[in-house]
Structure 1
Amino acid sequence: MKLKSLRIENFRAIRGDSNVLRFEDNNIVFIFGKNNIGKSSILRAYEYFASPNKAAAITDFYEQDPKNKITIEAAFIKEDLDEENFDQKGLNKWVCKKTGEIHFRKTWSAVDAAATKQTLDPEKGEYVSGGFGGLEPILTNATPAIIFIEAMPSIKSLTEWLEKEIKSKLLKKLKDNHAAEYGSALEAIKKLQEKVEGADYLGEISTGANKYFAKTFPELELRITTNPYRDSDITKAIEKDFNITIGNKSAPIDEEKVEENLAAAVLALEDLTAEADGAEGADKRVGTVTGRQFDLHGHGLIRQAIINILGIFKESQADKKHIILFEEPELYLHPSNKRRFRDTLYDLASQDAYQIICVSHDPQLIDLNKPHISLARFVKSSDGETKIHQAGHDLFCEDDDAKDRLQMLNRFNPHICESFFADEVVLVEGDTEAIIMRELLETYHKNGEVFVLNTGSKTNMPFFIKILRHFSIKQHVIHDADERFIYDKGKIVLKEDQTPKKNGAWTLNQTIWDELLICNEVESFAKRYVSIRNFEHAHGYVHDKQLGKPLSAHQYAKKLDFKDKTVPIVKFARLIIGCDNDAVTDYSPEYLEATVVEPH
């Protein structure tokens, strides 16, 4: 199954009914937000949901109060590879015929107690107790396998997972490539199991256990049986320890020997557990394996290696689904390695076998040009309620024009994505305004957290207003009014019919205004401030050509008197940081029409 959505309520720092994470047309979600508001709890919530019979601790309840019942709902999509499993266990009745979805809900209402599980009856449209085979392991085995990579990873736990993963892949290779031998071995094992069960060895153990168990619980019986839903693990019969080392790159690998080389690499997991098992295992291969022990490398390299090892299996489309829960993947990485790491992560997410949820503080990991990406802004209000504002790739690249614009803007300003991490953003249309506004805010609003976004041009502003609105980010928009018509050497340019040629920049005033109105309709604060005609005209500003625009703007900002509210950019900055309140000027289209006087 593939995760479709996850709704979380009253789990740790998460409160409210607006905490929903969705996988629509995306395989990777980046969750971003302020520190210490509960982002990592989203990862832990899915882990909780997928863990069978997980008991809740007092710290798992919101405000550590069990009266705040923890509710986690998850929707999954049945896929082709689920067909055999669903048929064998009679699970298809829980699948919505129209959408192919299966919905579950787990509720924790007491400390040290497991959750009550409910499954949505697609015919009745309501949740019923149990469902979906009843047993928790049936649900767990059907959901994507979890790979949790923590911010401070436990090397032992990661390597234990790697060993399990490699063994499962070996078992599949045995099934696929050596079907006859595998079948014979499996048949032999089954016969041995039948002998164990036939001789009633398990019955003898159960009887012995019940001898004392029944004294305490006379109305109950303890049974020990084999698990009918689990394959025999033939790899245990041929089990070897493995070792992974990292050293200098060896000679190019012959592609025809990929499986052979993989098998050799697979023999390389024993040093991963050397810390727990002692140095003996590591010493066994000193003469044959070169490179430093895996867990002796830095955390950044280890986390990169984990992703690369996952990539070995990424083309196994028929394998069980995996969901990677990645906590702050940017940690420990040198800036020069972040882009390469980002590309590896996206490459992994492009494979159907993986879904990825990342909690991150680093805008450099976000590439909005990549398909199947989604951003989720996690916010916490003053009353403690939390919300997730999520946007998919379609918002950023809804058409070819938007896609081209975004690609151009990313090249122009690689820090654009940083605006999505802010609570409050000032949008300006050019370098001059950006430099001056940043200087004013850094000088007179040092403790504030207002991000200044240079959109590159007035034309790009509606695009960014819409995106920031989707994330419910407070925004201030500063731009030029411009003139109504196009001028050439002091004269209005005429069209072929001799009517004045309209200025597209003037038309944008209305477009920007319309986007801001939508913001305020959905309770996403947005306000604009306009330089009459343009910044230069409104401020009597001319840049020094010898200094260039950036340095000229910086020196101009240094000379500004922040108390002088007759200077438009100073007035705007004072309003933005709350020094003043102007309830009169709204810079509406009507205001601009009445205020802007054409130059000629």
Structure 2
Amino acid sequence: MAKKKAQAEAGEDLSAWFEQSRPKLRKMIIRNFRCIGSKPVFIDLDDIVVLVGPNNVGKSSILKAYEMVMNHGSKKCLLTDSDFPNGCVHTIDLPQIELHTIVNGDSSPALRWVEKIEGQAIVRERWTWHSVNTEPKRQGYDVQKQAWDEQVPWGAPGVAQSKRPQPHMVEAFAHPQDLEKQVLDLLNAIIKDRIKNVQSLPDTEDELSDYARLLRQITVLRKKILDDSMSEIQTIESDLSSAISEIFPGYVVKFDPRAEDDIENDLSLFKSSSKLLMGPGQGYQGAIDKQGSGARRTLLWSALRLIVQNGAGKKTDTGRPHVLLLDEPELCLHPNAVREACRVLYDLPRQGNWQVMLTTHSPAFIDLSRNNTTIVRVERSVQGDIFGTTVFRPEKAQLDDDDRERLKLLNLFDPHVAEFFFGGHTIIVEGDTEYTAFKYIISKAPERYRNIHIVRARGKATIISLCKILNHFGNGYSVLHDTDFPILENGNKNPAWAHNASILAVVNESPMQNVRHLSSMPNFEAAYFGQEKINGGKPYNAFMRLQEDPRVFQLIEKLLSTVLNEEIELPYGCIRWGSLEELLEVVTPLQQAGAGRKE
């Protein structure tokens, strides 16, 4: 009795605790699926998950695995030969996908399935495929037994499916007709979310059989839903046409649902033959699959923007959440559309029940200023194993509001600032002059400086924010910034001087050994170009000096080498220091001697 009472009390405490959780997917573990082998790939999930890494390492396979488990109970959950490792079914290396879902009191199963992991209420499920074209075996993790069980947390697949996000997969090189269907699915999701409280008609035909009356009511109900939807369809047509016309002036979009009277098993609102038409408002409007790649992708982004602008994804008490699975969003996008596309993706989860997972080779789709983004680097080891490493999670990077604001501004100036997530060694510099000088040196010997990424922070405070990210990133990096002087020419304290100590502190927090921290005295221009300041455009004039003066070129080349390698002697004007007191002892005589001051 005492044991049962203790379990009941523990259950009550757990129930009160997980009622505060926000339901969403948190982690996925993949084994033996396509190019992913027996060593599991761990993917942390968030509102936004960005998968980065080289080509052919399994990023698209991760998206597909996500789609498979979200579609359990449908034909989309069946595997083909190509989905098994090496195209063969081996009983000891069966495809398996495990999913961790955060639950709360409104959407959770019995407490036997709920455990506390990293302060969150988690339900664990896994799917194992034993053969081609057959349903996977689904199991739940019983916390009380501490073992996988033949029973499952939410019972039948249809019940479980309603608790997990509805997947919307958009493949990188999908057939035009497939991409059209993907856009239609998104639009249907918008319309279905908007149509609520549709009532069925009363039964007035007693002479019909129960079955016949049911079919008749469903047919009438579908027509009523379609009629009720027409105003929303027309609004969507107008909004899409307005968005499309920004890229293709004069073009309009027409949505033809083509509803018919026959009954489909899934009771879809619209026939599968629904078409999207696009073209000039006063000309021929052809099917989307007849349009160019740029037009089709633009329509996709217009549909996503529509969800964001109109709040179609806002969660209702009965609405099923959504997850957008997007492979290489940068494809076929006009440069002007890239930033808008990034904004749409990051705003989508703000609707309340959308999550996004995307693969990309473009740093423009990584926004470090957001606090809901996880970045996962997918790689292949020298032994051929695929593995995923979470390289950035906002809560672990410990960025504050000032950090995010600085990074937001930096993203505006340099959309490629996040390139360091894609590999290589990162060098953080303070300003444009040193950025230009180092880039010029690298351009003269690209093979020697391969995989070197230069980031210009445009200020000492932003250097601190970037170092926090790189510390969490777990990779080596180098920092070069100006020492400045502690006192300004007018006798006031220099606010830039105080940042020196903060930079040193955050660099010392790095868990990596290959971190290099150097400073130019008192600034880059004075230290290596021998003048107090470079008048006019500093980067351009530095570029001209490097071209015209071999001595200056050799000096900057040596500086770049020593920034990368601590075994190389420091050039004159560069210092490595371990405390603010040590730095002060060096720069004070320099200022008293009347050396150049940073403007």
Name the TM-score, length of structure 1 as normaliser: 0.70
Following TM superposition, by how much is the alpha carbon of 1:526 offset from its aligned partner in structure 2, in angstroms? 1.8
Q: Please give the residue correspondences for 1:32-111 in structure 2 after superposition, counting only pairs within 5 Å.
A: 32-52=52-72, 54-55=78-79, 57=81, 60-61=84-85, 66=90, 70-78=95-103, 82=107, 93-96=112-115, 99-108=120-129
Shift in Å, 1:331? 0.9
Q: CA deviation at 1:10?
A: 4.6
Paired position in structure 1 for 2:430: 429
Determine whether 1:387 maps to 2:388. Answer: yes
Q: CA deviation at 1:345?
A: 2.9
CA distance in 1, matches of 2:483, 2:241: 62
Q: What is the CA distance between 1:29 and its match in structure 2?
A: 2.2
1:283-312 CA distances to partner (integer Å, 9 max, x unpaired)? Answer: 9xx999973322222233323323544526
Q: Distance in 2 between matches of 1:454 and 1:589?
A: 23
Secondary structure at the aligned position of 1:319 is classed as coil
SS in 2 for 1:35: coil
Q: Which moved more, 1:114-123 or 1:306-315?
A: 306-315
Query: How far 1:506 sits from its partner (Å)?
Result: 5.0
Secondary structure (helix, strand or coil) at the match of 1:325 reads strand
Q: Distance in 1 between matches of 2:208 and 2:424?
A: 61
Q: 1:168: Cα distance to partner?
A: 7.3
Does the 8 Å contact 1:441/1:573 carry over to 2?
Answer: no
For 2:7, the equivalent position in structure 1 comes to: none
SS of aligned partner of 1:42:
helix
2:257 matched to 1:267?
A: yes
Aligned position for 1:514? 505
- Quick check: 1:530 aligned with 2:519? yes
- The match for 1:457 among 449, 455, 459 is 459
Counterpart secondary structure, 2:54: coil
Contact 1:430–1:455 (CA under 8 A) maintained in structure 2: yes
CA drift of 1:333 comes to: 1.1
Q: Is the 8 A contact 2:516 2:564 kept in 1?
A: no
How far apart are the structure 1 equivalents of 2:84 and 2:213?
44
- Quote the offset at 1:165 in angstroms: 6.7
**Which one-letter code corresponds to 2:127 in the other structure?**
K
Report 1:271-350 matches (<5 A).
Answer: 291-309=285-303, 311=307, 313-315=312-314, 317=316, 318-350=318-350
> Aligned residue for 2:411?
410
Which residue matches 2:168?
Answer: 147
The 1:431/1:332 distance shift into structure 2, 3 A limit, reads: same
SS in 1 for 2:174: coil
State the structure with more CA Rg.
1
Contact 1:329 1:360 (8 Å CA) reproduced: yes
Residue type matched to 1:2 in 2? Answer: K
- Deviation digits for residues 457-495 of structure 1 (CA, Å, limit 9, x no counterpart): 223212111112322343111123344x31537xxx48x
CA distance in 2, matches of 1:232, 1:250: 33
For 1:574 and 1:139, the matched residues in 2 are separated by: 57
Tell me which amino acid in the other structure corresponds to 2:45.
R
- Distance (whole Å) between structure 2 residues aligned to residue 397 and residue 552 of structure 1: 39
1:353 matched to 2:353? The reply is yes
Among candidates 558, 563, 584, match of residue 571 of structure 1: 558
The root-mean-square deviation of aligned C-alpha atoms, in Å, is 4.8
Alignment check: 8 A CA contact 1:32 1:361 kept: yes
Question: How far off its partner does 1:73 sit?
Answer: 1.8
Distance in 2, matches of 1:269 and 1:330, equals 34
Q: Do the aligned partners of 1:43 and 1:325 also contact (CA within 8 Å) in 2?
A: yes
SS at the partner of 1:488? coil
Q: Once the 2 structures are TM-superposed, how far is the Cα of residue 169 of structure 1 from its aligned partner?
A: 7.3
2:79 maps to amino acid: A
* Cα distance in 2 between the residues matched to 1:598 and 1:186: 102
Kindly indicate whether residue 210 of structure 2 is the aligned counterpart of residue 191 of structure 1.
yes
Structure 2 residue runs without a partner (length 5+): 1-22, 244-252, 261-271, 593-599
Instruction: Give the Cα separation in 2 of the matches to 1:100 and 1:248.
Output: 40
Cα distance in structure 2, aligned partners of 1:81 and 1:357: 25
Count matched residues.
520
Q: What SS does the corresponding residue of 1:176 show, helix, strand or coil?
A: coil
Secondary structure of 2:351 counterpart? coil
Q: For residue 4 of structure 1, what is the aligned residue in structure 2?
A: 26
Contact 2:184–2:276, Cα closer than 8 Å, also in 1: no
Query: How big is each residue's C-alpha offset from its partner over 1:513-562, in whole Å with a ceiling of 9 and x where there is no partner?
Result: 3323332x2x4732123334432443252278565312211022224659
Query: Residue in 1 aligned with 2:150?
Result: 129
Q: Structure 2: how far apart are the matches of 1:10 and 1:398?
A: 36
- The secondary structure found in structure 2 opposite 1:350 is helix
1:574 counterpart letter in structure 2: S
CA drift at 1:421: 3.5
**Counterpart residue type for residue 387 of structure 1:** G
Give the 3-state SS of the residue equivalent to 1:542 in structure 2: coil
CA spacing shift, 1:65–1:469, aligned 2, 3 Å: farther
Structure 1 residue ranges without an equivalent (≥5): 197-230, 253-261, 271-275, 495-500
Task: Provide the secondary structure at the position in 2 that maps to 1:408.
Answer: helix
Q: Give, as a single letter, the amino acid of the residue that structure 2 aligns with 1:551.
A: Y
Contact 2:140/2:149 (CA < 8 Å) preserved in 1? Answer: yes
Q: Given that residues 170 and 325 in structure 2 are in contact (C-alpha distance below 8 angstroms), is that contact kept between their aligned partners in structure 1? A: yes
Question: Structure 2 CA distance, aligned partners of 1:269 and 1:364?
Answer: 41
Distance 1:41 1:165 in 2: 22
Inter-partner Cα distance in structure 1 for 2:135 and 2:453: 44
Secondary structure, aligned partner of 2:99: strand
Would you say the 8 A contact 1:425–1:475 is kept in 2?
A: yes
Per the TM alignment, residue 413 of structure 1 is displaced from its structure 2 partner at its CA by 3.6
CA distance in 1, matches of 2:532, 2:208: 84
Q: Does the aligned pair in 1 maintain the 2:276–2:288 contact within 8 Å?
A: no
Match of 2:42 among 16, 19, 32: 19
Asked if the contact 1:396–1:406 (Cα under 8 Å) also holds between the matched residues in 2, the reply is no
**Percent of aligned positions that are identical:** 23
**Residue 551 in structure 1 maps to residue 575 in structure 2:** no
Asked whether the 8 Å contact 1:76–1:103 carries over to 2, the reply is yes
- Say which is worse superposed, 296-305 or 540-549, in terms of deviation: 540-549
Structure 2 CA distance for aligned equivalents of residues 96 and 374 of structure 1? 23
